[in-house]
Amino acid sequence: MALIECKNVSLGYEGKPVVSHLDFTVNQGDYLCIIGENGSGKTTLMKALLGQKNLLNGSIEFGDGLKQSDIGYLPQQTPVQKDFPASVKEIVYSGCLNSLGKRPFYSSKQKEKAKSVMEKLGIIDLSTCCYRELSGGQQQRVLLARALCASKKLLVLDEPVAGLDPRITQNLYHLIRHINEDGLTIIMVSHDIQAAADYASHILHVSRTPLFFGAKNDYLKSDVFREFGGGVK
């Protein structure tokens, strides 16, 4: 069943389109990579999916009970965020804020979910540590845990491995794949065509006009991939 359906979507700033005529669907269980060069509209599209950016044209429709408040989101880190003086547990718990309702405290169910997520991501032993004292890879796992606490059906990732060394990058990519294999739908914005070829089920390659949308195997056979993929295997 379709979680998201984008129909003839155009996005831009001050009425000037960055990307136009986008048509694509995200189904339950998909792992969609949105790839393209800098300035191609990847992040703008992601903001539109999260309700942070208005459309110039077209529509984005949500199905299967999905609401924007149910989408887990892992943004790119800023220098200020990397120096945030809170404990790991506090940051992971904050992913449950949207589901608090009128309650002033986290429920036992929310705390159990946060604990389960931290165990799954291998950071439970860091729960009382200060976030700013962690390594870059550990910080990214903490932010991923927070996004998973917010997510019910869909996780959106914006360049999740930016700034990480190759070993930690591969570990994080494997972790995201396992999360998808457990049933959570993934949308990942990336400039990394190799990662898309390795992990995605579907590819949306954007430019000022949509260059390709479809299954990964079809993308690897396409003229678009031959033009932009270079030596990727």
Looking at residue 101, its pLDDT comes to 61
97-123 pLDDT, tens digit per residue, is: 877 666 677 888 889 999 999 999 999
Model confidence at 40, pLDDT cuts 50, 70, 90, reads confident
- In this structure, the answer to whether residues 205 and 106 fall within a common structural domain is no
Distance CA 196, CA 177 (A): 11
Looking at residue 87, its pLDDT comes to 94
Mean pLDDT of 124-128: 95
Residue 28 pLDDT > 60, yes or no?
yes
Mean pLDDT of 162-170: 89
Looking at residue 209, its pLDDT comes to 67
- In this structure, the answer to whether residues 217 and 166 fall within a common structural domain is yes
71 in a domain, yes or no?
no
Percent with pLDDT over 90 in the chain = 60
Q: With beta carbons less than 8 A apart as the criterion, state whether 224 and 205 touch.
A: yes
Judging by DSSP bridges, how do beta strands 31-35 and 202-206 pair with one another?
parallel
Residue 11 pLDDT > 60, yes or no?
yes
188-216 pLDDT, tens digit per residue, is: 999 888 899 999 999 999 876 668 999 99
74 in a domain, yes or no?
no
Which of 134, 152, 170 terminates a domain? The answer is: 152
46-94 pLDDT, tens digit per residue, is: 999 999 999 999 999 999 889 888 899 998 876 656 777 899 999 999 9
Looking at residue 192, its pLDDT comes to 86
CA dihedral of 211, 214, 218, 222, whole degrees rounded to 10: 0
Residue 231 pLDDT > 60, yes or no?
no
- In this structure, the answer to whether residues 130 and 160 fall within a common structural domain is no
Distance CA 102, CA 214 (A): 42
User: Residue type at 68?
Assistant: Q
Expressed as residue numbers, the domain containing 88 is: 79-152
- In this structure, the answer to whether residues 212 and 168 fall within a common structural domain is yes
206 in a domain, yes or no?
yes
- In this structure, the answer to whether residues 16 and 122 fall within a common structural domain is no
Q: What is the mean pLDDT of the chain?
A: 89
Mean pLDDT of 5-30: 91
Residue 7 pLDDT > 70, yes or no?
yes
Percent with pLDDT over 70 in the chain = 93
The three-class DSSP label of residue 190 is strand
Give the pair of three-digit tokens for residue 155. Answer: 């996780």
For residue 26, the tally of other CB atoms under 10 A from its CB is 23
Choose among 91, 176, 168, 95: nearest CA to 127.
Answer: 91
Q: Write phi, then psi, for 228 (nearest 5 degrees).
A: -105, -20
Residue ranges of the alpha helices (H) in the chain? Answer: 42-49, 79-82, 88-93, 108-120, 136-150, 166-181, 193-199, 216-220, 223-228
Q: Write phi, then psi, for 146 (nearest 5 degrees).
A: -60, -45
The long-range contacts involving 191-195, CB below 8 angstroms and separated by at least 24 positions, are 191/35, 191/36, 191/37, 191/38, 191/42, 191/159, 192/35, 192/161, 193/35, 193/225, 193/228, 193/229, 193/230, 193/232, 194/232, 195/33, 195/161
Model confidence at 232, pLDDT cuts 50, 70, 90, reads low
72 in a domain, yes or no?
no
Give the pair of three-digit tokens for residue 36. Answer: 């393209």
Which position has the higher pLDDT, 17 or 5?
Answer: 5
Which of 152, 177, 192 terminates a domain? The answer is: 152
pTM: 0.90
